[in-house]
Amino acid sequence: QAKVAGKNTYRFYSRAMNEAVERRVHLENELRGAWERGELRLVYQPVYRLSDQRLVGAEALLRWRHHEQGVIAPAVFIDVAEQSGLIDVIGPQVMRAACGDAARWRHVRGPDDEPLFVSVNVSPRQLRSGDLARMVEASLRDAGLAPEQLHIELTETAVISDEAHASSLLTRLRSLGVKVWLDDFGTGFSGLSHLRRVPVDGVKIDRSFVADVLRDPDDLALTTAIIAMAHSLGITVVAEGVEKEGQYALLRERRCDLAQGFWLGHPMEFDEFAALASEPAVAPA
């Protein structure tokens, strides 16, 4: 196509491509060692149970505070980490830090409060690396965190791209006592039938469905179907991206189990989450 459009267009394309590649390589170099320089850190987004509106845990989300560019979103740098293999280093650092934080916020809770879970995102490459289960086990042991308090989020697409391997790995993780959730559920077109073969504890309904649940009858139908089907299989349903009270009320009415989103709480620093965890924890409703 570039050739047909002429030489100048071709030059333009190749220059733009070179710049994109250079930016990527640059980002990759900067990302190397970013954890050690203290530029990477985890923030926590509260997760609530809809039946009694209580705080039950948090999702750990990575932030990169670049010395020049400010905060860079994971949508940009996780991909770079994944492609370059840096995720093999950052992934275990994230797991270790999240388990450590979750063990620490246990102490701000009353003795009768139920323990809060931490939910950690694991990328497709980590799923393929042979020693994920061992890495998780070591992180739990070193942090002194009960396995039940750790949830691992894997994307639906990563799991279905290698179902046999994923299934045996998930079985191993779950035998440790860790819970496994499928993230961004509904976007991968895997269909509900996969849930019979892939052993998971929960699905997180993608926020693109939640966004339109009040306006778009198709999204409401899909969300309702996911909830019904998951429940019939004994699987927990989490809604992400709840931004409005109406969405929250509707999901509650449809018996969705858990929810997170800007309306309930933005991702926050460890200290802020620990303060929230120490309060009698009822959703802002």
- Where does this chain bind Mg ion (CB under 5 A)? 121, 153, 183-184, 212, 216, 219
Alpha-carbon span 105 to 124, nearest angstrom: 29
Verify binding: residue 139, ligand C2E, rule CB under 6 A: no
| 48 contacts: CB under 8 Å, gap ≥ 6 | 54, 55, 56, 258, 259, 260, 264, 283
What's the gap between Cα 277 and its chain centre? 20
Site string for ligand C2E, 149-188 (x = CB under 6 A): ----x-----------------------------xx----
**Exactly one of 31, 78, 97, 140 binds ligand C2E (CB under 6 A); which one?**
78
Verify binding: residue 74, ligand C2E, rule CB under 6 A: yes
Cα angle, residue 38 at apex, residues 37 and 44 outer, rounded to 5°:
155
What's the gap between Cα 238 and its chain centre? 11
Tell me how far, at minimum, the Cβ of 259 lies from Mg ion, in Å: 12
Contacted by 123, from ligand C2E, Mg ion, none: CB < 5 to 8 Å by type: ligand C2E
Contacted by 267, from Mg ion, ligand C2E, none: CB < 5 to 8 Å by type: ligand C2E
Alpha-carbon span 163 to 148, nearest angstrom: 24
Site string for ligand C2E, 27-66 (x = CB under 6 A): ------------------x---------------xx----
| 105 contacts: CB under 8 Å, gap ≥ 6 | 116, 270, 273, 274, 277
Q: What residues between 103 and 132 interact with ligand C2E by CB under 6 A?
A: 121-123
Sign of the CA dihedral with 268 first, then 269, 271, and 277 last: positive
Tell me how far, at minimum, the Cβ of 120 lies from ligand C2E, in Å: 7
